Amino acid sequence: MNAKVSAAGAKADIGRALRVGVIGAGVMGSNHARVLAGLPGVLLIGIVDPLPEHRTRAIDLVGCRAFESLDQLFAEGIDAVTIAAPTHLHHEIALACIARNIHILVEKPVASTVEEGREIVAAAERAGVTLMVGHVERFNPAVAAIKKAISGEDILSIGITRVGPFPPRMSNVGVVIDLAVHDIDLIRWFTESDIVEVQPQLSSAVAEREDIALLQFRTASGVLAHINTNWLTPFKARNVTVATRGKYVMGDLLTRQVTECFGFKPDGSYSMRHLPVGHDEPLRAELIAFLDAVRSGKLPAVSGDEGVASLEIAIRCLESPARPAASTMRKGPRRIAG
């Protein structure tokens, strides 16, 4: 089935409720199911997870059916799925869904490797199914306000801080794949340009994998950007600053307050204003965008190629091995990076 046939089929069924499933009943997958269960024009068929405790939690939270295997979900007949399983399973699950002409949203990162990500993208293109990658931060109303504020501006630099305490759920990835990949995607999206230079500084202070990352980038358009991320800060912080030739925009992604400085004068004075920010739940907005793409056959908000491009940059950041944060001979208390 080619893309045109798939799009035509989606449009022909536009009045029918979409039969949707969720794969993975961890924290993220359970949230997917919760949101999908409340969307109009959607029939949540169920959620899949091999772990009984995960299935029980999903049933208690959402009240939907829970399946032990993919085949059980496939047997119910579904149009689309969201994949919120562990990253190392994305490739296998995505290809199984695509082989059955099922539209998919894959949580970030799209796959464990760039090669696997490209295979998913190629398979979706051949089958003519919608593939969207779940970079949910794009749907944060504060991020949307920043994007609107810098539209048409000559961007000079971007700074992003994404820090917090060590997450108890984390086991097989470090801060670059878990956190920084969000901001790599935002840098590419804000600038509408590829990242061409990467200068990573990584360290493992407490965790087995890198838990501190200071990342510097240059885009093809000449924008300088940096990301400061760690699991050592006792509180969460999510801040974005963007400098352009005409303005300076500051956004707090947690409080969703966005401030714009403009009208710079030779004497150093300038004007400042708070920008309007929406109140949508980012995950809800993301899932609505995915389902709209399924129904219309149009390109999704975050394409498979974009997801692979951000993954590729994240992996480039990991090419330099993480170093211990301090020598074992060092005396005195360990400082917390913020």
State the average pLDDT over residues 253-276: 97
Q: What is the pLDDT of residues 18-58, one digit of tens each?
A: 999 999 999 999 999 999 999 999 999 999 999 999 999 88
* pLDDT level of residue 333 (50, 70, 90 thresholds): very low
167 band by pLDDT with thresholds 50, 70 and 90:
confident
pLDDT-derived band of residue 206, with 50, 70 and 90 as boundaries? confident
> Is 276 strand, coil or helix?
coil
What is residue 244's predicted lDDT score, i.e. its pLDDT?
A: 98
Q: In whole angstroms, what is the distance from residue 159 CA to residue 161 CA?
A: 7
For residue 329, what pLDDT is reported?
39
Q: Report phi then psi at 241, rounded to 5.
A: -125, 140
Contact 273, 259 (CB under 8 A): yes
CA distance readout (Å), 7 to 101, 218, 267: 12, 37, 57
The answer, yes or no, to whether residue 217 has pLDDT greater than 80, is yes
E strand segments, 24-74: 42-48, 66-67
Q: Determine the Cα–Cα distance for residues 73 and 259; give it in Å rounded to an integer.
A: 46
Contact 232, 161 (CB under 8 A): no
pLDDT reported for residue 321: 53
Q: Where are the beta strands (DSSP E) in 222-291?
A: 224-230, 232-244, 247-252, 257-262, 271-274
Mean pLDDT of the chain: 90
> Taking Cα atoms as reference points, which of 120, 77, 104 lies closest to residue 23?
104
Instruction: State pTM to two decimals.
Output: 0.88
Q: What is the pLDDT of residues 128-164, one digit of tens each?
A: 999 999 999 999 999 999 999 999 999 999 999 999 9
| pLDDT beyond 80 at 250 | yes
Amino acid at 290: F
pLDDT-wise least confident of 40-49, 64-73, 320-329 = 320-329
CB 92, CB 113: distance < 8 Å: no
- DSSP assignment letter at 65: -
pLDDT per position as a tens digit, 311-324 = 999 999 998 554 55
The count of other CB atoms within 10 Å of the CB of residue 235 is 9
| pLDDT for the residue 334 | 39
Q: Which two tokens stand for residue 185?
A: 């995607």
* Pairing mode, strands 42-48 and 18-23: parallel
Q: Compute the Cα dihedral for 140, 145, 150, 151 and give only its sign.
A: positive
Q: For residues 182 and 107, what is the distance between their CA atoms, to the nearest angstrom?
A: 11
- Note the pLDDT of residue 207: 81
Separation CA 294–CA 6 (nearest Å): 9
